Amino acid sequence: MFSFTERILPCLVKAVSTTMRYLKIMTIAFSALIVPFIISTVASAADLPPMPAPLIPGPNDGRIAYMTARLLEEYHYSQHPLDMEMSEKFFDGYLESLDPRRENFLQSDFDEFAHYRTNLDAFTIGGRGRADLTPAYEIFQRFLQRLQQHVAYVDNLLKQDNFKFDTDERVAIDRHDMPYPKNLADAQHLWLQQLSYEYLQEKIGREISATNSDLILPLSKTNEAEIARNLAHHYDWSFKMLAKWDSTDVLQAYLNALTHAYDPHSDYLNTAHEQQFSMEMSLSLFGIGAQLTEDDGKCTIASLIPGGPADKSKQLKEKDQIIAVAQSNQPPVSVVDMELSKAVQLIRGPKGTQVQLTIIPADDPGARHVVTIIRDEIKLEDSEAKAQLIELPDGHGGTNRLGIINLPEFYFTIDLPGNNGNSTPKSTTADVTKLIQKLEQQKVGGIILDLRNNPGGSLEEAVKFTGLFIKEGPVVLARSPDSPVATLSDTDSSQLYDGPLVVLVNRFSASAAEIASAALQDYDRALVVGDIATHGKGTVQNLNSLRQFVWPAEPDATNDPGTVKITIRKFYRITGASTQLKGVMPDIVLPSVLSYSTQFGETSLENPLPWDTIPAVNYDKLNLVQPYLSQLRVRSNARIATNQDFIYVRQDIDELQKLQADKTATLNEHEALKERQKINAQIKARDAERTRRKIADEKIYDITLENADMPGLRAPEPMTVTNFTGDFYTFTNHETGLLETNTANWKAEVKTLPPDPTLGETEQILEDYISLLNANHTLIAK
């Protein structure tokens, strides 16, 4: 099983501020807010950003599209032919992928292309082994034209600077299900309102900030001009990036619309996306070990990965700009104004190969240096399993020790062609085994498996992982459309860990994470705690390389045909119930903003497969949780009722529900300022209250795969962080001859680390669980 393509947000801890950020990005406004004559502003031809030459398909693209469609028809779980029904979903999905807010395409465009809506099946599979990609390119070219008009219109509005925010208008904040604008004038009105909202949010953000204690500071003309420049740059950059698309990008978007017509987790992966997928699953890549970002058209080094080739070379540093890339002795290729993902592809390459980078040093903008680096394997350690040992007072002068295993995803090694088998094998189960053995050496009384925000990964790793905590038995059932239900079991009769176990999940726990948590819950082996339900992805995908079907279809073809990721099976709990759509419902539900958001979960995606059931299989229920569940819930509910952080969470839930019900935002500056002041005041009050709290009497020891083999434990992590502010300077101490720093004017501000009330309550639930097991003399034997 592979992680779903929507790389999810980490968490909505502060619902109000996060929702406001979402509104700032996503809002489309409709209002007569600005003086009417601006609406009639029409960009002249000279004002329009230049349009690139129309694209044409690559030599292999027709064959790629045809085989993608045929593989979907043959292997997808639904066994649905590419017919008129799928054609309509395909068409709608393609327009949606280009214009998700329905602000650029006009209804007249939709009507003009309507004949494609019911005929994309014929265009795709009606030919002799090749798809006709005319619809993809005609629609994309029209979208580029509309975006060009949008950007030019916005640029003219910003030059006129006639923004006023003194009406009572409110604007719709989500146009996903709204009609396309009727005509260009209607679209211009939408563009005007969207820009107004963005301008207002930028203005308020400068007028009220943490540095001016919520006082309203009217902006100077200089600041207002800066807002206009920033917004104009954002719009211009958006058009420039899309104008740089080539036929590979269009094919990627078009075929993803086709695969998503079948379900949201089937994908077409061109070479770049295929390598990215392999990198995420394997937790490694082959390159120079630098994190890159785009800065005004320049590929800029954001940071260096410690121990990577770039770091070891001592030739690169943060904020250096890469302007050209050359492979070994090949001529350099300029990457200025190149889409960042394409520049990254040039810089990455097989282990042991040479890449030459032409850079502009951050500290010498007038210079140009050529840096030669040998590529190597880069480990993505942030996504590896890791552990913590929590030491808590037991109330009797001693301490309790709890273990936490944090698992960001279920990874394993995918060695793509070109890597030449150089990938270092990675295994979730092997890594977790190492961490648990370390925790058991430290005599932990129980373990929490933190699967929050875990998007899934390998089905096989999920089964092996579950087997660490049970004796042999079925773990998950899998059904294909044309074969009997398969039972995937743990066949190893040994059990690595047999102590008290809690699984912590949230709305972003999906796929393989749902398999493991569901199995441990069904066996009554572990107590599941978290949001009201997990994501709800109950499907299995496999990778189908197109190389054998396509490459090379034409002598002049240069593009690799890529891979199709296809949903081929659904998986079911050993009880026979699917996790599809419904997810896993915890034994103890904790208050969470995510539980009430309509933006997350399988039900929020397009074309999800339905929920259903199949017959259960036989398994031995361990009865280790149910006898204590009612007592655990009573104790947890009592704590939650008075826990101040959960009181804040319930307040955030109320605010989110109001925003979701209203679906509008104000364009009145006075009202918007009041809302922002209210939010800032609430955040400050919460921070102040948390600062007054007594620091928790506990010690936290971090355990990584790197230090798990070392004796003992590292020093515990600090429970506070100290920020220093004020003037300082360096000087030479004439008595010692040493360079020293004068910190006499520094002010030290000590802050406690941000709370994680969900994890804190889960720790207390585990402590309760351990005490109940001990009181009842419950033993778990290997």
Residue closest to 728 by CA, chosen among 713, 740, 712, 711: 740
Residue closest to 173 by CA, chosen among 7, 32, 10, 31: 31
Written as one letter, the residue type at 616 is A
Identify each DSSP E strand in 638-708 by its residue range: 664-666, 699-703
- Please provide residue 129's backbone torsions phi and psi, each rounded to the nearest 5 degrees: 80, 5
Helical pair 84-98 and 247-262, crossing angle rounded to 10 deg:
130
Helix, strand and coil content of the chain, in percent to the nearest 5, comes to 40, 20, 40
Strand partners, 524: none
Give 264-326 as a DSSP string. Answer: TT-EEE-HHHHHHHHHHHHTEEEE--EEEEEETTEEEEEEE-TTSHHHHHTS--TT-EEEEEE
Q: Which two tokens stand for residue 170?
A: 């409110």
**Eight-class DSSP state of 593:** G
Q: What is the set of active-site residues?
A: 511, 522, 537
Q: Which two tokens stand for residue 290?
A: 């630098």
Strand partners, 269: 563
The half-sphere exposure of 488 on its side-chain side, counting CA atoms within 13 A, is 26
**Eight-class DSSP state of 390:** E
Count CB neighbours of 680 within 10 A: 16
Residue 347, sorted as left (phi over 0), alpha (psi -120 to 50) or beta, turns out to be alpha
> How far apart are the C-alpha atoms of 719 and 726, rounded to whole Å?
24
Count CB neighbours of 163 within 10 A: 21
- What are the helix (H) ranges across 407-511? 428-441, 459-467
> How far apart are the C-alpha atoms of 41 and 674, rounded to whole Å?
32
First-to-last C-alpha distance (Å) of the chain: 30
> How far apart are the C-alpha atoms of 56 and 460, rounded to whole Å?
42
Burial of 121 (0-12, 13-18, 19+ CB in 10 A): buried
Strand-pair category, 369-374 with 386-393:
unpaired
Q: Over the Cα atoms of the chain, what is R_g? A: 28
> How far apart are the C-alpha atoms of 241 and 534, rounded to whole Å?
35
**Cα 622 → chain centroid:** 36
> How far apart are the C-alpha atoms of 299 and 359, rounded to whole Å?
10
- Cβ contact 416:275 at 8 Å: yes
- Cβ contact 332:358 at 8 Å: yes
Written as one letter, the residue type at 289 is G
